[in-house]
Amino acid sequence: MPKTGNWPERRGILVLWMSTVLINVTFVETDGTEEHFKVPVGTNMLEAAHSKDIELEGACEGSCACSTCHLIVMDVEYYNKLPDPTDEEIDMLDLAFGLTEMSRLGCQIKATSEIDGIRLALPVAT
């Protein structure tokens, strides 16, 4: 009989592991100032910005119902590693000031090991 393991126990270990794995992120503010720091895997970039008092509004608190957490991914290599935006995110991005081909909503970008080193620029205005 195959070993199935104890899923709730394994899930707890997975959650503990995920909460301790950190990735590097850089936020580039409108004046060119760069903020480099580490964030736990699973954190979204709105939460990451707020943890360092970076002025990224986030009016709907991450529910994908505004565009005030608009960020611009600075490197196409990282942009292409992100999951495709949902229809809801695309609808909100259409309302963003200064939309670019590399724009995403910060609350919809989750920290994963694949995007370790990502650089995100704050738009000039939101």
Any contact of residue 103 with ligand FES (CB under 6 A)?
no
Q: Which of 23, 25, 45, 46 binds ligand FES (CB under 6 A)?
A: 46
Closest CA to 88 of 105, 111, 74: 105
> Rounded to 5 degrees, what angle do the CA atoms 48, 119, 101 make?
110
Question: Please, where are the H alpha helices in the chain?
Answer: 7-20, 45-51, 76-79, 87-93
φ, ψ at 27 (rounded to 5°) = -105, 130
Q: Which is nearer to ligand FES, 61 or 77 (CB)?
A: 61
Closer CB to ligand FES, residue 41 or residue 45? 45
Measured from the CB atom, the residue of 46 and 115 that comes closer to ligand FES is 46
- Say whether residue 58 binds ligand FES (CB under 6 A): yes
Residues that bind ligand FES (CB under 6 A): 46, 58-60, 62, 64-66, 68-69, 92, 105, 107
